[in-house]
Structure 1
């Protein structure tokens, strides 16, 4: 994984707690809604964005049906699909890849994001989803956390909108990439 450039999208979060209740080791949380992340993100993450972008064509976003699991084989361990349910809004994990299960040490399929989120804070996670669902934005989220070995682990997350009707986001596809540095 390429080193993240902290000058692109660095929001200081010195006292932020992670979903595991641990202090952020780096004190930084990075979120971007521009495509600038493509110059510094991992090649697999960039490849996943390019696949999604190809499948949407000239539409704002593809549908879930446009994505072929056979074509996505190299990304499947890092894939999460979240259903967007309205009135009231609920975000429910429909599919959770093995990478996410290993990070969480639990399979959260069927649970809501509020119940089982993984990230710096619930507020940050929900803001990522809001940007994708309400503003139809691509969201790149990156952070560094200590691993069990004490080494820093770069974590990159890409959230992309999916729509059955081409207008309303009814699913969010997430891709997670993690590497030791």
Structure 2
């Protein structure tokens, strides 16, 4: 168990264990192995991003309703570089590059400021692959919670 697994939100671990179970002895599962009905309670927090072989690199295929609400818009169909939700496009793309290079789960926890509040966020990037070798899709599970400043209003 890595350090982050000891301290992450329990839902992150549940989604990670689901993904691991779908590997079935392979390095990573295919999108076809993921059954949305089995992830029903997590669907609002899931995003699917296609890994494409062109200048866009990563394109939002599906964005859960909670993710759309947190962002304030729906980036479905847009390139991550154009509709990222991070401190910069490079910072967002780096997360996808890591998961594609390692072909393994990638976890990141970073608080950020939304328009009207501070948010604590944990993201789990999970690679998916039709052939078990090349990542062709990334499934991201996000947990965000409002952070309150002590002594402030």
The 1:88–1:47 alpha-carbon spacing in structure 2 relative to 1, beyond 3 Å, is: same
Instruction: Give yes or no for the alignment of 1:81 onto 2:43.
Output: no
Provide the C-alpha distance between the structure 1 equivalents of 2:114 and 2:58, rounded to a whole number of angstroms: 28
Matched, 1:133 2:83: no
How far residue 134 of structure 1 moved from its aligned partner, in angstroms, is 2.1
Structure 1 residue 80 displacement after superposition: 0.3
2:125 maps to 159
Shift of residue 89, structure 1, vs aligned partner: 5.4
SS class of match (1:167): coil
* Alignment map for 1:62-141 (pairs within 5 Å): 62-88=29-55, 90-141=57-108
1:138 positional shift: 1.6
TM-score by length of 1: 0.76
Q: Mark the runs of 5 or more structure 2 residues left unpaired by the alignment.
A: 148-153
Per the alignment, residue 15 of structure 1 pairs with none
1:176 partnered with 2:119 = no
**Structure 2 residue aligned with 1:59, among 26, 45, 65?**
26
Structure 1 unpaired stretches of 5+: 1-33
Deviation at 1:88, TM superposition (A): 4.0
Residue 48 of structure 1 is matched in structure 2 by 15
TM-score (norm 2): 0.89
Secondary structure, aligned partner of 1:62: coil
Q: Tell me how far 1:92 sits from its aligned partner.
A: 0.7
Between Structure 1 and Structure 2, how many residues are aligned? Answer: 147
> What is the rounded CA distance, in whole Å, between the counterparts of 1:120 and 1:141 in structure 2?
13
Q: Specify the SS of the correspondent of 1:165.
A: coil
Q: CA deviation at 1:148?
A: 5.9
Distance 2:19 2:59 in 1: 21
Deviation at 1:145, TM superposition (A): 2.5
Runs of 4+ that moved beyond 3 A: 146-150
Cα deviation, residue 123, structure 1: 1.3
